[in-house]
Structure 1
Amino acid sequence: MELRTMVKAESPRTLQQPGKMYVKGKYLYVNEIKKGIHIIDNGNPASPKFVTFINIPGNGDIAVRDNILYADSFSDLVSIDITDPAAPKEVGRVKNVFKTGLFDGGSWALNETVGAINDQSVEWVEETVTVNCEDNISPNWWWGGMLVFADRAFLSNSSSASPQSSGGTSGQAGSMARFALDRNFLYAVGQNQLHLFNISKAAQPVDFATVNLGWGIETIFPYDNKLFIGSSTGMFIYDNTNPAEPKQLSTFQHGRACDPVVVSGDIAYVTLRTGTACGGGQNQLDLVDVSNPSSPQLIKSYQMENPHGLSIDFPNLFLCEGEHGLKVFDVSDKFSVDKHQLAHFKDMHAYDVISLGKTLLLIGDDGFYQYDASNPKDLRLLSKIPVGKAI
């Protein structure tokens, strides 16, 4: 069976290996790594309801504009009409824009000599998936969801609320997102390139352009007509005043490590961690002055345990520490953040967090959590969807 015929709505299923999360309106979209996307009605955060599951082979990332959901499916970008969340349907596809990718447990790559993507052509050899595809392929890497790098070290993706620009109503992604929406464009970062898709006709995205970024590209965070792109060696800042033609302004270099970045005002918050194939020996939070985006300057570094995703709702910074839980800081004084830790919640695995003001969304290996964050010092659990829980 061709994998391209398998994108379809199915009955709700349990969370098994959650990856990225995305929120728009009352709906949550949670990636099941390499499998598809859960649509969850979150009208009542104390009692979220699974609506449907979209089967999307090779899925790792999510973005939503109005009633169109964008998702990667191995080499393809797929657009899905979610006007009726209980009956989503594929309405567009851009083929063969992503050449290879890595997921938890293995990698995949396109074979240019075979004429279709089908499940017979997908095989795992030493934890490597080979996906055969049609048409001409332009070189690129695409890493979706939670990833394993070449040495199979585990990298947990994380998120924090990411502002979106005009050009339709978009949702909120996070600090480890590889998709971003800005005006009439969808941006998708791969290992060494930035893909621009024109979405002026939302249901029919068009592959518009690519920008070479270098090596080890991991995340993208749009903010104030700029794109902040995280890599394994630093942070790139691009001027996005003209969304059709991003221009590099600067690079802030740090030691080799995996990092997401979020921005508020004139400060970028960057986490670096060990325990991944990115290498390096830092577990820290960097505050970077980006008031002059052409010349970012380190303000101060703070030691952490194993920082992952983060979200800023100034002055509150929510920082995931993986198996060490979630920390909350008051970052009003940028020179003494470590002296203003408001709370440390240790009873969860925390790798992805999105702050929505008075509500906090958190995802980890053990499930999906929602908290009343009216008092950041004392988060109150509203609901939890454990991994493996029967629906």
Structure 2
Amino acid sequence: MVKAESPRALEQPGKMYVKGKYLYVNEIKKGIHIIDNGNPASPKFVTFINIPGNGDIAVRDNILYADSFSDLVSLDITDPAAPKEVGRVKNVFKNGLFDGGGWSLNESVGAINDQNVEWETETITVNCEENVSPGWWWGGIIAFADRAFLSNSSSAAPQSSGSNGQAGSMARFALDRNFLYAVGQSQMHLFNISKPAQPVDFATINLGWGIETIFPYDNKLFIGSATGMFIYDNTNPAEPKQLSMFQHGRACDPVVVHENIAYVTLRTGTACAGAQNQLDLVDVSNPSAPQLIKSYQMENPHGLSVDFPTLFLCEGKHGLKVFDVTDKFTVDRKLLAHFKDMHAYDVISLGKTLLLIGEDGFYQYDSSNPKDLRLLSKIPVGKAI
């Protein structure tokens, strides 16, 4: 049921993604808006891609990846006005709603479950040799399996990668070399995208319950969960290896990283049932043993983005806060600005431009002076541009 439709107004915006001059804004569980942002002061809706059950977005070159209930779909967006489905991995997200629903407090979305069982009976004729040692037989199978595994691992090793876009801190999709990573509520799915239009279900890693976000950085994967932050070594992108877990009290938490510091937000008022509203700075210089630097109390922190030394932090209905994080021990005393006239869910810093999304719409700012953000444009909910 994936198809291109006429542009429509924002109704319930969710995740956002940017690549080149185009913005991709998720309409929670309905699809993706493609917006021409060649002129940030005057963005224009190009098309709406109807993708039932969609929650996340990633773009490599001219291929867009999106979840659709239990499936992963790939679309050719060479012509943004006429995107076309070119690939689909069926029934890979087994519960039919890999992200657990949307982020709106008032939203209630049920999962779709599908079971399609086919039974086959086959008779096989074998020639059993009485004098063959069972040990040799099993050894041969194991040796064959080992060779097959090594061959598969070798062929999966990426040689090159295309041009990726940029996601916000709330993303459940991440791209690294020839792989797309999708974190569900308890698992990380690896898709081989060496042939970008035809993703292949490659592997699944069990992470534990309450997984929420993924942030790739410096050959590592930083994964936010309801109880902490996982760090995976991604030197071999076909086989991520867990290095550590930084634990905190139960709370929803996205994470972003700059150099040796991870910035983690924890908030209440969600399905995570947390009791903390704070920003944690974590030393990840030794990724096998992350250490808390300091915690700072916040109002209701959501997504965040770092353009060092500036940290942009979304506070939900309390707006957007801008901090100078040069001194990691005095962040609370270096509040540069607090913009209270919007709902702030997630943010992406693009140097001199800042993208922000919330329940009331999509905002763009000139952020060349972080103390005085200048509004370039706004796409309010309920209005098509």
Question: Which of the five TM-score ranges fits, normalised by the shorter chain?
Answer: 0.7 to 0.9
Q: Secondary structure at the match of 1:207?
A: strand
Q: Could you list the runs of 5+ residues in structure 1 that have no partner in the other structure?
A: 1-5, 116-164
Q: Secondary structure at the match of 2:166?
A: coil
Quote the residue 2:41 is aligned against.
46
Which of 18, 36, 47 is the matching residue for 1:23? 18
* Alignment-mate amino acid for residue 108 of structure 1: A
Quote the residue 1:177 is aligned against.
171
Matches of 1:174 and 1:196, distance apart in 2:
20
* Alignment-mate amino acid for residue 328 of structure 1: V
Quote the residue 2:186 is aligned against.
192
Alpha-carbon distance, 1:109 to partner? 3.1
Structure 1 residues 390, 200: CA separation in 2 closer, same or farther (over 3 Å shift)? closer
Q: Does 1:324 align with 2:327?
A: no
Larger helix percent: 2
Q: Deviations over 1:248-290 (max 9, x none)?
A: 0000000000000000010000000011121221100000000
Normalised TM-score (structure 2): 0.86
Quote the residue 1:37 is aligned against.
32
Q: Does 1:209 align with 2:217?
A: no
Which of 225, 233, 257 is the matching residue for 1:231? 225
Q: Secondary structure at the match of 1:47?
A: coil
Q: Deviations over 1:149-204 (max 9, x none)?
A: xxxxxxxxxxxxxxxx9610000001110000000000000111000000000000
Matches of 1:95 and 1:295, distance apart in 2:
38
Q: Which runs of 4+ in 1 moved over 3 A?
A: none
Which of 349, 352, 374 is the matching residue for 1:380? 374
Q: Secondary structure at the match of 2:273?
A: coil
How many residues of Structure 1 are paired with residues of Structure 2 in the alignment? 337
Matches of 2:345 and 2:160, distance apart in 1:
29
Which of 54, 66, 70 is the matching residue for 2:65? 70
8 A contact 1:316–1:328 mirrored in 2: yes
Cα root mean square deviation, aligned: 1.2
Q: Does 1:108 align with 2:111?
A: yes
8 A contact 1:322–1:350 mirrored in 2: yes
Structure 1 residues 23, 286: CA separation in 2 closer, same or farther (over 3 Å shift)? same
8 A contact 2:45–2:384 mirrored in 1: no
Which protein has the larger Cα radius of gyration, Structure 1 or Structure 2?
2
Q: Deviations over 1:11-55 (max 9, x none)?
A: 000000000000000000000011100000000000000000001
Larger strand percent: 1
8 A contact 1:166–1:182 mirrored in 2: no
Quote the residue 2:54 is aligned against.
59
Normalised TM-score (structure 1): 0.85
Q: Secondary structure at the match of 1:109?
A: coil
Matches of 2:322 and 2:360, distance apart in 1:
20
Matches of 1:286 and 1:335, distance apart in 2:
11
Quote the residue 2:268 is aligned against.
274
